[in-house]
């Protein structure tokens, strides 16, 4: 591969003020023709929800790369998938047959029967709109790949680390930005986070027995964190972490 011979890339780009008259200087994107997003949000944000799909059926309409990602996400969450499309990617065909049903034909009304979620993921807007109409008529939450805001939900960029699942969304504004943030989060997670989680789960169970009142437990957790609980976990000092919880419990309960 040849080396880069053009001018160096700047560390960052400062866009000219809109309406300043300097948007069209030099070649490039033509900033005068870009549609700049408004700073005033008129659409409410999505509600983050973790859906239990274990053993439940989801319908994916489409057989391309987008449909493949949706089907893989459902299978990864323990769900069953019905995929309807005239043709499928090789990756879809390689998914476990006991978890994935492939129907080789165009979409038909009724293909969503029995599904708890539906995904309209074809490259034909008319088919996607029909899937949306059928899902709404059947009371099935539906996501639309080509028009996210016309659907009921979207899938975030997801990072999984053991029992920890982190979902990141930009509300459909920039999926690539969500992926970049996901990668940054993945790099920031400590390699011992699974040990932390196991310890915190045990401490939580013990604290529930000692402090039955939920509000008092939240106060105890805040005190423990303020007293260095997370620092103790990062250092691998589980005894110190337990002491911080015990001291927080005593301060909260007055005993």
pLDDT higher than threshold 50 for residue 3: no
Q: Which of 101, 22, 16, 29 is nearest to 58 (CA)?
A: 101
| CB of 89 closer than 8 Å to CB of 64 | yes
The 10s digit of each residue's pLDDT in 192-226 is: 777 777 778 888 888 888 888 888 888 888 888 88
Question: Confidence class of residue 113 from pLDDT cuts 50, 70 and 90?
Answer: very high
Instruction: Give the integer Cα–Cα distance in Å for 120 and 145.
Output: 6
Residues 209 and 74: their CA atoms lie apart, in Å, by 36
Helix axes 238-253, 214-226, angle to 10 degrees: 130
Spell out a b/e string for 43-77, using b for 16 or more CB atoms within 10 Å of the CB, else e: eeeeeeeeeebeebbbbbbbbbebbbbbbbbbbeb
Segment 125-136, tens digit of pLDDT: 999 999 999 999
Q: Which long-range CB contacts under 8 A does 176-180 form with residues at least 24 apart? A: none
Using 50, 70 and 90 to split pLDDT, how confident is the model at 238? confident
Q: Which CATH number fits domain 57-155: 3.50.50.60, 3.40.50.1370, 3.30.1490.100, 3.40.50.720?
A: 3.40.50.720
Q: Where are the domains of the chain?
A: 57-155, 156-189, 193-253
Instruction: Evaluate if residue 71 carries a pLDDT over 70.
Output: yes
* Mean pLDDT value across residues 79-89: 97
**How far apart are the C-alpha atoms of 206 and 94, rounded to whole Å?**
45
Residue 179: which pLDDT band, with cuts at 50, 70 and 90? confident
**What is d(CA 45, CA 172) in angstroms, rounded to the nearest whole number?**
10
Contact call for residues 13 and 21 (beta carbons, < 8 A): no
Q: What integer pLDDT is reported at residue 37 of this predicted model?
A: 55
Of 148, 95, 154, 84, residue with least CA distance to 122: 84
Share of the chain above pLDDT 70, in %: 81
Cα 159 to Cα 17: distance, rounded to the nearest angstrom: 36
Q: Which of 2-16, 70-84, 168-182, 230-244 has the lowest mean pLDDT?
A: 2-16
């Amino acid at each position: 591969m040849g080396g880069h011979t053009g001018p160096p890339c700047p560390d960052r780009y400062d866009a000219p003020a809109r309406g300043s008259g300097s948007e069209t200087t030099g070649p490039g994107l033509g900033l005068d023709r870009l549609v700049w997003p408004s700073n005033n949000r008129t659409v409410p944000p999505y509600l983050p929800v973790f859906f239990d799909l274990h053993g439940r059926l989801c319908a994916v309409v489409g057989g391309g790369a987008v449909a493949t990602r949706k089907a893989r996400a459902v299978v990864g969450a323990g769900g069953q998938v019905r995929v309807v499309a005239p043709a499928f990617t090789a990756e879809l065909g390689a998914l476990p047959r006991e978890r994935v049903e492939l129907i080789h034909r165009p979409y038909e009304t009724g293909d969503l029967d029995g599904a708890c979620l539906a995904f309209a993921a074809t490259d034909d807007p008319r088919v996607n709109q029909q899937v949306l109409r059928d899902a709404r008529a059947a009371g099935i939450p539906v996501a639309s790949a080509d028009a996210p805001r016309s659907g009921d939900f979207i899938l975030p960029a997801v990072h999984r680390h053991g029992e920890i699942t982190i979902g990141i969304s930009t509300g459909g504004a920039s999926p690539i930005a969500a992926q970049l943030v996901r990668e940054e989060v993945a790099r920031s997670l400590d390699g011992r986070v699974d040990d932390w989680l196991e310890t915190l789960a045990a401490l939580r169970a013990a604290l529930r027995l000692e402090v039955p009142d939920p509000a008092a437990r939240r106060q105890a957790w805040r005190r423990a964190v303020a007293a260095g609980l997370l620092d103790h976990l990062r250092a691998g000092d589980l005894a110190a972490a337990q002491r911080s919880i015990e001291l927080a419990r005593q301060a909260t309960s007055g005993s």
